[in-house]
Amino acid sequence: MTKSNLNAGSPSPAMLNPTNHCLAFIDAVALMSFSVSNTSRDELRNKVAIVANAAKIFNVPTVVSTVSTAAFISPVFQEIIDVYPDLDAYVPRTSMNAWEEPGFYRAVTSKNKKKIVLAGLRTGVCINGATLSAINEGYEVYIITDACGDVTTEAHERAVTRMVQAGAQPITAIQYLLELQRDWARTETVPAVGELVQRYAGIFGLVLHDISHKPVKQITYRSWRNIKVFPSKAVNEGSPFSLPLFTALICKA
């Protein structure tokens, strides 16, 4: 196995990079989100926004598909439309298992990627069917679990368990984004990644609000409490707190 640096190891082939996979959103639509209860709609939409924008930043081949019938039609999340505004490129379906839909199957397999990343609704139906079917044909499937949702926590968790037992790999939206970035020395994408997490990633976004390679700045619990973003029992009053390595690189002068 080749190494990019004689003093460094090689990344696992199980890791995602911008060129080794395609992404598919399945039924990330407004109407379905109202029955999701394993997470809040706001959190779900934030995670979908992170995934969609991450794919755009890193030029990942992406398929957007929705069920479209006379009895059921609903727009996809605006967070997806903002990134992929060409609605005519979306793949319509009638099948709950997208893998059985000729248009979706062609759209995904034509990307010629053996790794497929899935997100959307519902975990136990549309995501589950596509995942099990793709694995059966030899694809490696990754499920962005916090960008998926179902009618109950039980339904979501049992579906994830079933897919993992079949060979799928569960990841999160932030994990997906940072696995694509991988190295802060890849400066061409750092500003866009910084803006994305600032907008959608909560406390992590607040920490990464000013991406640079400046010296690490020590902050105290008191300064965090003043802006009401740090848990009150996390550290002792007034003690210096160094951010973890992945956030410590991002600080103001």
Q: Residue 47 above 50 pLDDT?
A: yes
Determine if the peptide bond prior to 182 is cis (ω within 30°). no
Domain spanning 21-179, CATH class: alpha beta
Q: Residue 108 above 70 pLDDT?
A: yes
DSSP, collapsed to helix, strand or coil, labels residue 207 as helix
Which pLDDT value is given to residue 4? 54
The Cα 195–Cα 174 span in angstroms is 13
Tokens 């060979």 belong to 167
For the chain, domain boundaries? 21-179, 184-248
Give the side-chain half-sphere CA count within 13 A for 156.
Answer: 22
The Cα 134–Cα 187 span in angstroms is 35
- The sheet with strand 169-171 has its strands ordered as 91-93, 62-67, 21-26, 115-121, 140-149, 169-171
Which pLDDT value is given to residue 244? 39
DSSP, collapsed to helix, strand or coil, labels residue 25 as strand
If one compares 168 and 211, the residue with the highest pLDDT of the two is: 168
Which pLDDT value is given to residue 29? 92
pLDDT confidence bin for 38, thresholds 50/70/90: very high
CA angle 78, 82, 83 (to 5 degrees): 125
Among candidates 210, 117, 124, which has minimal Cα distance to 169?
A: 117
E strand or H helix that includes residue 66: strand 62-67
